[in-house]
Amino acid sequence: MNNALDVLFNRKSTRQYTGKPVSVEDLTTLIRAGMAAPCSRGQKCWYFIAVNDQAVIAKLAAGLPYAQMILSAKHAIVVLADLNLAHGGAEVPYWIQDLSAAAENILIAAEARGLGACWTGVHPRPERVEFLCQALDLPPQVMPLCVIAIGQSAGVEKARDKFDPTRIFWNHWKQK
Ligand SMILES: Cc1cc2nc3c(=O)[nH]c(=O)nc-3n(C[C@H](O)[C@H](O)[C@H](O)COP(=O)(O)O)c2cc1C
């Protein structure tokens, strides 16, 4: 197997961390990987807030019950869209797809760097969106998609093989 596929198949959601620090360089590399994702019309409507201040981590964890692992991960990347950029001139806004591609790139890059990561959902749950907009003082045109926990993995979780050949059809929806 080549290295890229090795990394991809080893990616897993990590919820147990050692709490050791992740460098600014590594966090920047992960965001760089996010920005390498494909995006509709090349519009790059994404923004990223890297969080390594523990007061901000605690504030986010207080309002996001399903993102409690950020407390031990100690770092997070919030993936956001500027809706003015996403909608500007576009017939169809693809910001969710653009940001999802960026988020997945960040998860894979974390695996490649030997770091743990976990996507935690925000959009389209209104209460989580509203909480993040207030907690991070976001301007009205900025929409958060997800918060990704980033940290040094404790090495507990292993990737699961989710391959299911019965979910593949060839040429038609169902084999006749
Ligand atoms: C849109 C989305 C939202 C998710 N939200 C959460 C979440 O709020 N908290 C969490 O612990 N994991 C969350 N996850 C991670 C999933 O639970 C995880 O990807 C899934 O169980 C498959 O496991 P794996 O990532 O290890 O392959 C989310 C994943 C996605 C794609």
> 10 Å Cβ neighbour count for 74?
21
The answer as to whether 133 is a domain residue is: yes
Q: What is the pLDDT of residue 106?
A: 99
The answer as to whether 59 is a domain residue is: yes
The minimum-distance atom of ligand 1 relative to the CA of 64 is 8
51-72 average pLDDT score: 98
* Strand pairing report for 75-82 and 116-121: unpaired
The answer as to whether 29 is a domain residue is: yes
Tracing tokens 């990394």 back to the chain, one arrives at 7
CATH of the domain at 78: 3.40.109.10
Cα Rg, the chain, nearest whole Å? 17
The minimum-distance atom of ligand 1 relative to the CA of 14 is 26
The answer as to whether 82 is a domain residue is: yes
The answer as to whether 44 is a domain residue is: yes
The answer as to whether 35 is a domain residue is: yes
Domain extent, residue 32, equals: 17-154
Q: How confident is the model at residue 175 (pLDDT cuts 50, 70, 90)?
A: low
Is 121 touching ligand 1 by the criterion CB < 6 Å? yes
Q: State in Å: Cα 66 to ligand 1 middle.
A: 10
Q: How confident is the model at residue 18 (pLDDT cuts 50, 70, 90)?
A: very high
Nearest CA to ligand 1 atom 18: 13
The answer as to whether 6 is a domain residue is: no
Asked if 45 and 79 touch (Cβ cutoff 8 Å), the reply is: no
The answer as to whether 104 is a domain residue is: yes
What is the rounded CA–CA span in Å between residue 113 and residue 23? 11
> 10 Å Cβ neighbour count for 94?
17
- Token pair, residue 148, equals 């990704």
23-43 average pLDDT score: 97
Mutate to test the pocket of ligand 1, among 14, 72, 79, 118 (most ligand atoms within 8 A of CB): 118
- DSSP assignment of 55-78 equals HHHHHHHHH-GGGTTHHHH-EEEE
Q: Please tell me the pTM assigned to this model.
A: 0.97
Asked if 159 and 12 touch (Cβ cutoff 8 Å), the reply is: yes
Average pLDDT, the chain: 95
The predicted-structure confidence for 72-105, as pLDDT tens digits, reads as follows 999 999 999 999 998 775 567 899 999 999 999 9
Nearest CA to ligand 1 atom 27: 12
Asked if 82 and 70 touch (Cβ cutoff 8 Å), the reply is: no
Q: What is the pLDDT of residue 92?
A: 77
Number of domains in the chain: 1
